[in-house]
Amino acid sequence: MARQEVIVIGGGLAGSEAAWQAARLGCQVRLYEMRPATLTPAHRTGSLAELVCSNSLGSALVDRPLGLLKAELRRMGSLIIACADSAAVPAGGALAVDREFFAAEVTRRIEASPLIDLRREEVVSLPETGPVVVATGPLTSDRLAEAIRRLSSADYLHFYDAMAPIVSLESVDMGRAFRGGRYGRGEGDYINCPLDEEEYRRFVAELIAAETSELRDFEAGDERFFDACLPVEVIARRGQQALAFGPLRPVGLKDPRTGAQPYAVVQLRQDNLAGTLYNLVGFQTNLRWSEQQRVFSMIPGLERAEFVRFGQMHRNTFLASPALLEATMQFRGRQGLFFAGQITGTEGYVGSTMSGLVAGLNAARLCRGEPPLALPPTTMSGALCRYVVEGDAARFQPMKANFGLLPDLATPARQKRQRHELVARRALEDLEQAWQAIAATMPA
């Protein structure tokens, strides 16, 4: 008897995770990825799960939202998190990866699976039958996006996302910059470029005055930004101190030369395993490349920096999910059609991975004649899925994992840190109970 087949469209983090999970349940999987023949405005390679904005997957601490979400994904056997752990680079209390190694490892494991048929083709319409997972991400191709638009009978919402520049380590002046993490955590993992008040004010003035790139045709007509990934020049325009209280906040850092906290600080985070490349944390930007060279070279320690990649901005697209999806990631208007990744509003790499895992499992369960499942709302995974399918569709915005999504404790904790620890413990306990029942149905 032939195996039931699951079709997955999109080989990013969500799609790769969905394909892997469906194969784990014994289903044959056809995974479509249009790259490298057809590239998006942000991608540069044909590797699966290519990271385009940052190499960081957020905190590794379980009492932090993204740390908890990653712990849940590890327990559920996530391919993406396993590959991220194998590609990890030093980043203090965060999980950051060598992006090339990470993408190559995901690609290797997918290609090695006997149940996954990877096809390098662009899908321009939705398959009419069978379990299908659409995980084409925020840069869905125009033709497929139009097919989804017709199916949903709902308007798409758009926001802009931007990539930060990367510099070579050898070009950073360590006579002005210094290594260290906030409050001494992960000492040496970050490079810090301190600014005094005068340097900060000059930098902000030039940043605000700098020329931005002209939007491409596919981006024209919409200038809304998503707050979690604002271009640094947009933040600067919000007020003189916006950067000092945002990505340039100096809290928890001391300049070893002065023994004092700087007025502001630009942090650089390791971008590859070799430790030769560093990205400017929080410096997503749409400045012209020549302006990036000029303005960012005003940062102490980066006066002679070699920019191996300049920042750039691209359009991201997501569904009005509260009107369209269930917490199982299944489309309300068609049984067997699932969506996953940032197109659903689960923002960020780890959130995308989680929705891919849920969609892949449920598509496979459908193949096996089992009902789709929703994870407990007391888990970060379940709470995030619940968020994207509830609320006002007209005002819906993507969301990253955060403790505000989780239900209150039966007995309130007095301190925020204690509450986070307790809700994290509850989440992992509830997930364990739910996952044992799910795992019992999986093939040995």
Q: What is the pLDDT of residues 389-431, one digit of tens each?
A: 987 787 787 888 989 899 889 888 888 889 999 999 999 999 9
Q: Which two tokens stand for residue 132?
A: 């299908």
The CA distances from residue 192 to 94, 254, 428, in Å, are 16, 10, 35
- pTM beyond 0.85, yes or no: no
Of 356, 423, 440, residue with least CA distance to 81: 356
Q: Is the pLDDT of residue 223 over 70?
A: no
Please write the tens of the pLDDT for every residue from 15-27: 999 999 999 999 9
Angle at 218 between CA 213 and CA 222, to 5 degrees: 75
**What 3-state class would DSSP assign to 428?**
helix
The predicted structure's pLDDT at residue 99: 93
Rounded mean pLDDT, 223-250? 85
Write down the pLDDT at residue 361.
97
CATH no. of 5-156+319-439: 3.50.50.60
> Where are the domains positioned within the chain?
5-156+319-439, 162-315
Say what percent of the chain tops pLDDT 70.
91
Would you tell me how many other CB atoms lie within 10 Å of the CB of residue 437?
9
* CA–CA dist 246, 99 (Å, integer): 25
Alpha helices in 127-227 (DSSP H): 142-152, 197-209
- Looking at residue 375, its pLDDT comes to 97
pLDDT number for residue 339: 97
Name residue, tokens 């489309």: 331
The answer to whether residue 377 scores a pLDDT higher than 50 is yes
pLDDT-based confidence at 1, cuts 50/70/90? very low
**C-alpha span between 217 and 314 (Å, rounded):** 11
Q: Is the pLDDT of residue 122 over 50?
A: yes
How many helices (DSSP H) and strands (DSSP E) are in the chain? 11, 16
Q: Which residues pair with 160 in a beta bridge?
A: 225, 315
Arithmetic mean of pLDDT, 176-184? 89
Q: Average pLDDT in the 359-369 region?
A: 95
The Cβ of residue 211 has, within 10 Å, a number of other Cβ atoms equal to 13
Fold of 162-315: Elongation Factor Tu (Ef-tu); domain 3 (2.40.30)
